[in-house]
Homo-oligomer: A and B are copies of this chain.
Amino acid sequence: MSFNSFGHLFRVTTWGESHGPALGATIDGCPPGVTLSAADIQPWLDKRKPGQNRFTTQRREADEVEILSGVYEGKTTGTPIQLMIRNTDQRSKDYSEISKTFRPGHADITYYQKYGIRDPRGGGRSSARETAARVAAGAVARQVLAQLLPDVSVIGYMVQMGKRGIERARFDWDAIGGNPFWSPDAETADLWAADLDALRKDGNSVGAVIEVTARGMPAGLGAPVYAKLDSDLAMAMMTINAVKGVEIGAGFGAAALTGVENADEIRMQDGGPVYGSNHAGGVLGGISTGQDVVVRFAVKPTSSILTPRASVTMDGEDTDVVTKGRHDPCVGIRAVPVGEAMMACVLLDHLLLHRAQMGEGTRGRIG
C-alpha cells in the first residue's frame, strides 16, 4: 500500500505540507557505498526552486536539504535516508481568507470532502511544494545510477507551452540549459517568453507538455505485466501535481499510425540490434529495448489565477474566487526537474527489481 510512497524497492515516502515546519523524503532500499552529501542534492533542488526568473512564483524558499540519516562518512549505508527541507517563507496570511472557500481546480474541495479536514495554508499537502521532496529523492537516485549504470543520463525539457510547440528540426540538447523554459529550441523559448508575459499581465496562466528522455539505457529493465517500465513511468508522472496525461514514444500519435508506419525496424549493427526508429519510446512489452526511453506529460494551466471564477464555500454559499498570492503562470516550467527526478527514481527502482530476479546483467544475448 502506498498512499504517500512510490517505488517497489527504491522506495520513497514523501511527507510534509506547504506551510508546516518542514517537508521531506524518507528513502528506503538505497544501495550502500554510494557517495552522497547535501551538496550532491542541492543543485537539483536549486533547479526547481522558485523565484529564479520572472516566469516562476516569487515565493522565496531556501530549499536547503539536510540529510538526517543513512549516510556515514559521505557514503550511503544501506539504511533509510531521511532528507529534510525546512519551510522558511510561510506567509500564511496570504491564504487565510480562503480557508473556507474552495479554489476551482485545486484539491481544496476534494480533500475536504474526503477527510473532513484540510490544512488550508498554501494548499497544505496538495501544494506543488511537495515536489521538492521528489527532486531531492531523485538526486539520490541519480547518485546511485551514476555508480551502477554510468552510461545513463536523464534529461527533461519543455516541448509545448499553450498552443505553441517546439520545432523538432531545431532540437538542440545544448540549448536546454540556456533559457528559463528548459527548451531544446531557443527560438521557441523566445516566443514562449512573450506569450507568458502577456498571460501574466492578463492574470491568466497556461499549460505545457514536458518530455523526459533517458539516454544510454541498457536493454532488459522492466517487467511484465503490472510492473512494466512504462506503466510505472506513467504512474510516476501522473502523480505530479497538475499532470493530466502521460505518453511513451509515439504516444497518442500512435493511434493515428498504421502498423507499417509504426514498426520500429531492427538491423544488426556493431554486434547488436539497432532500431531504425523509436515509436516505442524505448519500451516493448514493458521492458527496455536499449533505445532512449522517451516520456511526455501534459501539465494543466495553473489554477491559481487573478481572473475571478465561480466557486462555493464550505457552508454551501456561492462565491467568486480570485487567487492572489505568488503563483507560477506556467507550472510546467518547474515541473521539468520534477519529471526528471521521477524518471531517475523509476529507472533505479527497475534496476534493483531486475537484479533481484536476474542477478547482475541481462540474460539473453543476440548474435
Interface with B: A51-59, A112-120, A167-175, A186-194, which one?
A112-120
User: Is there an interface contact between A126 and B224, defined as CB atoms closer than 8 Å?
Assistant: yes
How distant is A91 from chain B, measured CB to nearest CB, in Å? 17
How distant is A251 from chain B, measured CB to nearest CB, in Å? 4
Interface with B: A39-47, A149-157, A297-305, which one?
A297-305
| Known A-B contacts A117-B364, A245-B247; A256 and B111 likewise in contact (beta carbons under 8 Å) | no
A window 282-312: CB within 8 A of B:
283-290, 298-305, 307, 309-312
Tell me how many chains of this kind the complex includes. 4
User: Digit string of A225-256 for contact with B (CB within 8 Å is 1, else 0)?
Assistant: 11110111011111101001111111111111
Cβ-based interface call for A318 (8 A): yes
Size band of the A side of the interface?
A: 35 or more
Cβ-based interface call for A62 (8 A): no
Main SS at interface, chain A: mixed
User: Is there an interface contact between B234 and A33, defined as CB atoms closer than 8 Å?
Assistant: no
Across-interface contacts of A288 in B (CB, < 8 A): 110
How distant is A165 from chain B, measured CB to nearest CB, in Å? 9
Which single member of B23, B263, B360 contacts A360 (CB below 8 Å)?
B360
Cβ-based interface call for A213 (8 A): no
User: Is there an interface contact between B125 and A79, defined as CB atoms closer than 8 Å?
Assistant: yes
Across-interface contacts of A311 in B (CB, < 8 A): 265-266
